[in-house]
Structure 1
Amino acid sequence: MNLNLEISKLKGVGPKTAEALNRCGIYTILDLLLYLPRDYEFINNEFSLEDFIEAEKYSIKCKFISVKSSLRVKNGKNLTTLIFNNGRYEIIGKWFNQPYIKNNFKKDEEVFLLGKVKVVNNRIEMINPIISKNLLQEREIIAKYSLRDAITNKTISKLIHLILDTIKIKENLPINLVKKYNLVSLDDAIRNIHFPESSDALKKSMNRLKFQELFTYSLKLLTIKEHLRNEKQGINFVMTQELSMFKECLPFQLTGAQNRAVREILMDQKRSYPMNRLVQGDVGSGKTIVAFIAAFNVYFNGYQVAFMAPTEILAEQHYQEALKLFEKFNVKVHLLTGSTKTANKNLIKEKLKNGEAAIVIGTHALIEDNVVFSNLGLVITDEQHRFGVNQRGKLINKNQAADVLVMSATPIPRTLALYLYNDLDISIIDELPPGRKKIETEYYNSSNRQQGYYKALEELKKGRQAYIVCPLIEENEKLDLRSIETLYEELKNTYFAGFSVAILHGKMNSKEKEEIMKEFKDGNINVLLATTVIEVGVNVPNASVMIIENAERFGLSQLHQLRGRVGRGQYQSYCILIAKAENNITRKRMEIMTKSNDGFFISEQDMKLRGTGMIFGTKQHGDTGFMIADVLRDGNILRAANIEAGLVYSSSRKEDILIKGEIIKQIEVSEKYICFN
């Protein structure tokens, strides 16, 4: 079977199903095989109160005894409660908004209930369990996929099964590597990632695919680096006299780390090959001004600068900062985003093409094919981890000779950064500007969350502002997470009655988000409830409190990023973590956040805490573009894969040359790091 065959050609896939699969990002047979599960359900058919695991699902055979009640609870939902017995335990089944459920049973009828088990007041409870007259699952581990439209798990599984029944996937790693690291075959890995035979088989399959992904990623970076050094002629920039004048006009002194980064960048700009440098710095360390200094020098050398940010909010903020910094030198700066009005957008594009526009700041709009530069000299991408190699490459291709400067505030342990960004030289800004007050971080169990809100109320009364971060937009009963809408209604009528409270989330359009952020910056909104859309770069000096609900749902690096939204002014600032501390790991993670403000230390602790053990659940879209690998959790795999990729890349062995060529050819076509024939 040709893996590049369109998905519509697969047996059983009609036009409507093909369209729905396309909307999931599945266009070919290969796309379907690499549509990895987002999670797994572990079905256990043997339940014991003494050793059950809350995270797992159980299929329990029991008898229906009676209807206990059917009533309307305080949130307006109907709750139906039924009593069952399995011979050893009484089981309370509760269903929300399914009043008809009580009519489905006869006295003493035997059924299977499938769901998670809780022990409440020494009683066994199951919330919204699935009901069957037969044993519900033949396998113990069920893959769960991200779904859209009419696509179901059953559809995905059926189609993948159909493909795997007709092919055997060819091994494409050097055999000596497969043996050295005791990796399962690529064929076994793909089969068990979708249809796990056991927990052990799933773990081995995930480790194989992580190695495959990181090995391929490393090969691509080595290819890019060699191409930049050996095949591309760069631009020889000089240090202009305006540059020293610009630095003297800055309203603050650069830190030692910032000066070091600037020197390294200016040295790169003098070289004959294009600069390809990462500036990695903690939240608030001042990476942006370093980038603006580089841009300023390129501008006065007579070249254009493209500065790409991951969100419109951040692009607008950089634009406003650039206008202020460059005003005295009459440097024209333009803003190009998805919401730029068509007439203005066309005008900016025309100016870029004919060389009238020198510095443009924007979002992904900058990588559109019809954005053409006259003489692009420098490409800057902010929050490098949010773009990935391929998106960055589209902007670089506007002029292959241009220098490239990428920035990231995501704290990654220094040793891992060297492997993850192997195509880049690295400058690390590990020093905060003087005068920055340490953000005081406090942690409260969710049962004591009111103490955090009282702290925020104290700050509001002083004239400060507050962020409240919530992980979801809508209520999720299964995860029991607080909805931003529910929280908004609660807070504006209780703790923050009399203050202006607003909501900001990713489902709003760009105009709505911009208006709300402007109102918050101007002080017209006192409390901003937001999802992680405010994670990166938002700068409101008067905001002194950050409350994070369900903090256990965020990674430590993400919590650190969110915390960095406060502490940007002259006032003492606070970050308040509200979490359900159901286990020691959660408590340790919260303690790390309360004890340290050093993002690099936090990321190292996070890696130690999480280790390289597997998570049962994979990512369809990771920050780095990986489908399954996590660079913090899988740091050891990254190191090994990077070293082995380097050996294969430089090898003169015929087998290694063929493997290298085939893998690089495939990733150039598919833009995926898990590749096979």
Structure 2
Amino acid sequence: IIIMYLAHLNGYQSSIMAPTEILAKQHFESFVELLEPLGIKVGLLIGSTSKKAKRDILDNLEMGSIDILIGTHALIEENVVFKKLGVNVIDEQHRFGVVQRNMLQNKNKDAATLVMSATPIPRSLSLVLYADLDVSIIKSMPKGRKPIKTIAINENMLEKSLAFIKKELAEGRQAYVICSLIEENQDYENLQAVEKVYEELSQYFCDFNLGLLHGKMKAEEKNQVMNDFAENKINLLVSTTVVEVGVNVPNASVIMIYNAERFGLSTLHQLRGRVGRGDQQSYCILYNLSKSEISWERMKIMTDSNDGFYIANKDLELRGFGDILGTRQSGMPNLRLADPFRDETILKYAAEDVKKILGEDPNLEGEKYSYLNKEITEFYSDLN
């Protein structure tokens, strides 16, 4: 908000792109409350924006009478034209593809871009390594919040864990149960579907109000369920990962994730972040139905740390970080000698050398760097 206010004082517009309508609306409400008293016009552009409202927003944006535009993927459509764009912010950047992020940045290639995430995707970590991104890390928690206690369980601890959730609900707290599937699928016999789990838990938690949330529901239904949960009309929300980002319910103190072995580390960390948003102690229960050693090693990473960067680095080790010049966001890169984990310090020094060389000869046209020009041309010839 401060960066965007500074851009406004210098005559520039700003944008912020969020992956869900819920999160975009939350940002919009916060920005309006803080900035409209200062005379700054804030717009909201999302998929459910009416045609007339959208036309008005696009006209005002191009004329320059909207200072800050907040939205979802709707921001990257071709007809979204800024008069003088100075700052882009991509929130929860791990939820967007490389091409989508570039489409927003291409609205004005000279605009400053800030990408934010509690768990950067492997490719973004690698860009930091290659000195293509400057990085700022916030390690302190908001005032009054306590670290979330995380435990990994198997089926032997399920009954005890559900009893613990019931105890939290009885004390006035709320809870989430997350599943990876919407409905049962014979191809995935070992996976717990959200609809089946909802039916089972409705019987176990018969004294409480349960809600069901998944991606196949209509937007109005989803919004109604989320509003009811936010107002504590729903005590236990059984959901898929649609609640991964943009859901802020400070009274929720427990999240239980079924088939935790099916989720990436970054997704598990994001889901865990749905609790611990108030001043009470909060808990994350990872229900791992796999017997594999690797799956339990992944659970240990989660139980050992609440640090998103540590978890993202572990994710990077497990998944690889994909292409630097392409769009692949995972998989190992085509480095001939370097190991990005072992040689992190060397690569940082190499990045400094690159800056120095490009400062002297940006196009490597002189005799001094002709050998570099030749090697680079040959190495990346397949990209042309």
> Do they superpose with TM above 0.5?
yes
Could you tell me how far 1:569 is from its partner in structure 2? 1.0
Q: Which amino acid aligns with 1:323?
A: V
Could you tell me how far 1:416 is from its partner in structure 2? 4.2
Change (3 A) 1:325 1:450: farther
Q: Which amino acid aligns with 1:482?
A: Q
Change (3 A) 1:663 1:407: farther
| Aligned equivalent of 1:518 | 227
| Aligned equivalent of 1:488 | 198
Matching of residue 656 in structure 1 with residue 365 in structure 2 = no
Change (3 A) 1:637 1:509: farther
| Aligned equivalent of 2:181 | 472
What SS class does the counterpart of residue 370 from structure 2 fall into? coil
Matching of residue 572 in structure 1 with residue 281 in structure 2 = yes
| Aligned equivalent of 1:562 | 271
Distance 1:387 1:310 in 2: 7
8 Å Cα contact 1:520/1:526 also seen in 2: yes
8 Å Cα contact 2:88/2:114 also seen in 1: yes
Distance 1:318 1:664 in 2: 39
What SS class does the counterpart of residue 425 from structure 1 fall into? coil
8 Å Cα contact 2:93/2:120 also seen in 1: no
Change (3 A) 1:663 1:321: farther
Q: Normalising by structure 1, what TM-score?
A: 0.48
Q: Which runs of 5+ in 2 are unaligned?
A: none
Distance 1:294 1:663 in 2: 40
8 Å Cα contact 1:304/1:377 also seen in 2: yes
Could you tell me how far 1:312 is from its partner in structure 2? 1.6
Could you tell me how far 1:606 is from its partner in structure 2? 5.2
Q: Which amino acid aligns with 1:656?
A: E
Q: Which amino acid aligns with 1:391?
A: Q
| Aligned equivalent of 2:160 | 451
What is the CA deviation profile of residues 120-169 of structure 1, one whole-angstrom value per residue up to 9, with x for unaligned ones?
xxxxxxxxxxxxxxxxxxxxxxxxxxxxxxxxxxxxxxxxxxxxxxxxxx
Distance 1:378 1:369 in 2: 18
Could you tell me how far 1:551 is from its partner in structure 2? 1.0
| Aligned equivalent of 1:391 | 100
**Which of 404, 407, 410 does residue 119 from structure 2 map onto?**
410
Matching of residue 370 in structure 1 with residue 79 in structure 2 = yes
Change (3 A) 1:587 1:629: closer
Change (3 A) 1:518 1:660: farther
Matching of residue 636 in structure 1 with residue 339 in structure 2 = yes
What is the CA deviation profile of residues 231-277 of structure 1, one whole-angstrom value per residue up to 9, with x for unaligned ones?
xxxxxxxxxxxxxxxxxxxxxxxxxxxxxxxxxxxxxxxxxxxxxxx
Could you tell me how far 1:393 is from its partner in structure 2? 2.3
Distance 2:327 2:95 in 1: 8
Distance 1:414 1:659 in 2: 24
Distance 2:10 2:227 in 1: 35
Change (3 A) 1:538 1:627: same
8 Å Cα contact 1:503/1:529 also seen in 2: yes
Distance 1:395 1:472 in 2: 31
Q: Which amino acid aligns with 1:300?
A: L
Distance 1:543 1:376 in 2: 38
Could you tell me how far 1:470 is from its partner in structure 2? 0.3
What SS class does the counterpart of residue 499 from structure 1 fall into? coil
Distance 1:385 1:572 in 2: 27
Could you tell me how far 1:345 is from its partner in structure 2? 0.9
What is the CA deviation profile of residues 436-483 of structure 1, one whole-angstrom value per residue up to 9, with x for unaligned ones?
111121222123212221111111112211111101112134431001
Change (3 A) 1:429 1:368: same
8 Å Cα contact 1:504/1:529 also seen in 2: yes
8 Å Cα contact 1:550/1:579 also seen in 2: yes
Q: Which amino acid aligns with 1:498?
A: D
| Aligned equivalent of 1:597 | 306
What pairs with 1:107-146 in structure 2 (closer than 5 Å)?
Answer: none
What SS class does the counterpart of residue 305 from structure 1 fall into? strand
Q: Which runs of 5+ in 1 are unaligned?
A: 1-291, 613-618, 666-677
| Aligned equivalent of 1:305 | 14
Sequence identity percentage: 49
| Aligned equivalent of 1:358 | 67
Could you tell me how far 1:423 is from its partner in structure 2? 2.5
What pairs with 1:263-342 in structure 2 (closer than 5 Å)?
Answer: 292-342=1-51
Change (3 A) 1:663 1:516: farther
Could you tell me how far 1:414 is from its partner in structure 2? 12
What pairs with 1:58-97 in structure 2 (closer than 5 Å)?
Answer: none
Distance 1:368 1:521 in 2: 31
CA RMSD of aligned residues (A): 3.3
Q: Which has the larger radius of gyration?
A: 1
Q: Which amino acid aligns with 1:489?
A: E
| Aligned equivalent of 1:80 | none
What SS class does the counterpart of residue 116 from structure 2 fall into? strand
**Which of 430, 433, 438 does residue 147 from structure 2 map onto?**
438
Distance 2:101 2:315 in 1: 28
Q: Which amino acid aligns with 1:510?
A: A
| Aligned equivalent of 1:539 | 248
Could you tell me how far 1:363 is from its partner in structure 2? 0.9
Could you tell me how far 1:391 is from its partner in structure 2? 2.0
Could you tell me how far 1:376 is from its partner in structure 2? 1.3
Could you tell me how far 1:412 is from its partner in structure 2? 6.5
8 Å Cα contact 2:28/2:70 also seen in 1: yes
Change (3 A) 1:473 1:420: farther
What SS class does the counterpart of residue 135 from structure 2 fall into? strand
Q: Normalising by structure 2, what TM-score?
A: 0.82
| Aligned equivalent of 1:462 | 171
Distance 2:222 2:165 in 1: 23
Distance 1:448 1:537 in 2: 30
Could you tell me how far 1:399 is from its partner in structure 2? 2.2
Higher strand share: 1
Distance 1:421 1:523 in 2: 46
Distance 1:516 1:659 in 2: 56
What is the CA deviation profile of residues 169-209 of structure 1, one whole-angstrom value per residue up to 9, with x for unaligned ones?
xxxxxxxxxxxxxxxxxxxxxxxxxxxxxxxxxxxxxxxxx
